[in-house]
Amino acid sequence: MPMSPLEELRHSGSHILATAVLRLFPDAKLDIGPPTETGFYYDIDLDHKFTADDLVKIEAEMKKIADENQPFLRKEVSREEAVAIIKERGQERYKLGRLADIPEGEKISFYQNGEFMDLCAGTHVRYSSKLKAFKLLSIAGAYHRGDEKNKQLQRIYGTAFPTKEELAQYLENLELAKARDHRRLGKELQLFTFDTEDVGPGLPLWLPKGTVIIEELEKLAKETEFAAGYQRVRTPHIARESLYLTSGHLPYYADSMFPPMELSDDGKEQTQRYYLKAMNCPHHHKLFGALPRSYRDLPLRMAEYGTCYRYEQSGELLGLMRVRSMQMNDAHIYCTEEQFAAEFKAVNEMYLKYFSIFGLGKYQMRFSTHDPAKLGQKFVNEPELWKKTEDMVRQVLVESGINFVEVPNEAAFYGPKIDVQVWSAIGREFTIATNQVDFAVPRKFNLEYITPQNTKATPLCIHRAPLGTHERFIGFLIEHFAGDFPVWLAPEQVRLVPISDKQLDHGRALAARFHAEGIRVTLDEHSDKLGAKIRRAELDKVPYTLVIGQKEAEANSVSVRSRARGDEGVITADAYLAKLRTEVATRALPEKKAASPKP
């Protein structure tokens, strides 16, 4: 697939980065330097550990190279010539391995700018002077080929844009993103923690406040799914190898699953291999097959908050966004072909409902299809069913007016899928959920139902997880709301702040009443001054701070301070509770205080 002009610019940036590194650090050994969705990087092997000062020097050298107006020249060579060029430049440590990745018969090319020449398929801008608006951003560790068994290299990240204005906007958004980073806010707000020494990397531990968010999301999903006719099920955390062999997951996902356990059943000498559950669907297929099914039972919608385990590479773990233990908002819908369109449309409408609840104005469905050339390898070898189900999904998306883009070669191995892309309040893109069609695996499990004609047929299966995993979705919400959760989702909804110790008894009575009403409330019993108490509530991002002075205590009222709207005046406790109950029950988003009109 040809590169876009922006990708070409960024790809050229990675080559100019490598040119600058070799000028300043001639002993550096280079691996790869591709463009990315947000910029570019280059993986480098060097005994010297790069520092922030080094980035400044490398960036300055890149500016010199850009000003030299070096042309990017393509040169096609034979495999033997490529080996000679790589060795001549002392870059055989990694480049020979990358050369070996190129299939026999495929063109081999190098690109040269100035004194630098790199094994590369291209493409690039014509001259280095096109790189005018760029910035080196950070240094990170990256295992060679993403395998933690290999040596860890140093990865220098950068970005580039056509104009300085676009670069400035991107850098501003990066600073906003740092302020909203879910790892920092999660620690500050006491939502979750990790213990890599004793528990292990990628295995989050949820503190009480974070657990509140989990339970509120689960409550929302259960209410929504109950109304939509879903039935709840539960399945174990482990299963025998045979289950995943039948489903076909092991051949495709073995590298992402935890290693098997060899266990003896019922005292027998022969052991069985058990795997930690990496996905819920094979278990749900067993539940469908556990009872005789008729067309009258369909559509059958099974939902579960099942915990799954995936052995992600340690270098790819990232806070809550990439973990090894995850709770999935999962469900499987078994239906006939005639029912498919209505069911698939209902799932998409469920997504749109959630977008509205969380205030997500921008979204896109990525409709992933198969590659016919990879049938029997990456995708099950059922060409007619691929075409049929992809046409069905495409028709539903078009008729529903859903904003979607079609992406080839990214389907699940058993059928087409939709990845749900959303954008946070500051414009960061996230993949939060998936919706997949499965025409192959139910047949592997011999799943059948009796048709109206009294014959047997295999159902279609829709895999859907509108809220994805708790871990990733909460990480997204932390950054989307910057920790300022709507009141229904906030771990602490109300903070009672007595002005002095004289109002403590009244505050305790009021806290007990709020608690009895199901409100998550705390009472600040510190002897600090009022300003310090209010400041503490602000730092804890509590949606409502209720100040209680002597007048309020005598009148059974509260002075309301909202994080979203500021001071809202004095109101009776009864009236405030009624208002708060409505806000929580409707899962309302906070309305910002309107700006005062200019004179």
Beta-strand relationship, 404-407 and 363-368: parallel
- Alpha-helix residue ranges (DSSP H) falling in 228-330: 241-247, 249-253, 281-289
Instruction: State the fold for domain 494-585.
Output: Rossmann fold (3.40.50)
Helices 208-227, 337-357: crossing angle, 10 deg rounding: 140
Q: Is 411 helix (H, G, I), strand (E, B) or coil?
A: coil
Residue spans of beta strands (DSSP E) within 424-539:
429-438, 449-450, 456-457, 460-465, 494-498, 521-523
Cα 590 from Cα 77, distance rounded (Å):
62
Under CATH, which number does the domain 192-481 receive? Answer: 3.30.930.10
Cα 359 from Cα 424, distance rounded (Å):
9
Per domain, the residue ranges of the chain are 5-163, 192-481, 494-585
- Contact status, residue 347 vs residue 377, Cβ threshold 8 Å: no
- Contact status, residue 248 vs residue 441, Cβ threshold 8 Å: yes
Cα 323 from Cα 316, distance rounded (Å):
9
Q: What are phi and psi of 430, to 5 degrees?
A: -135, 145
Alpha carbon dihedral 171, 177, 183, 186, in 10-degree steps, equals 150
Q: Please tell me the predicted confidence (pLDDT) of residue 593.
A: 53
- Contact status, residue 347 vs residue 490, Cβ threshold 8 Å: no
Cα 94 from Cα 157, distance rounded (Å):
19
- Best CA proximity match to 443, nearest among 456, 454, 432, 453: 456
364 token code pair: 């896109």
Q: Please tell me the predicted confidence (pLDDT) of residue 122.
A: 87
Q: What is the pLDDT along the chain (599 residues), one digit of tens a residue?
A: 678 999 999 999 999 999 999 999 999 999 999 999 899 999 999 999 999 999 999 999 999 999 999 999 999 999 999 999 999 999 999 999 999 999 998 999 999 999 999 999 989 999 999 999 999 999 999 999 988 789 999 999 999 999 999 999 999 988 988 899 999 999 999 999 999 999 999 999 999 999 999 999 999 999 999 999 999 999 999 999 999 999 988 877 888 899 999 988 776 778 889 999 999 999 999 999 999 999 999 999 999 988 999 998 887 888 999 999 999 889 999 999 899 989 999 998 998 899 999 998 888 989 999 888 888 878 878 888 888 889 988 998 898 888 899 988 888 877 888 888 888 888 888 888 888 888 888 999 999 999 999 999 999 999 999 998 999 999 999 999 999 999 999 999 999 999 999 999 999 999 999 999 999 999 999 989 999 999 999 999 999 999 999 999 999 999 999 998 999 999 999 999 999 999 999 999 987 654 443 43
Residue type, 80: E
* Helix, strand, coil share of the chain (percent; to 5): 40, 25, 35
Instruction: State the fold for domain 5-163.
Output: Threonyl-tRNA Synthetase; Chain A, domain 2 (3.30.980)
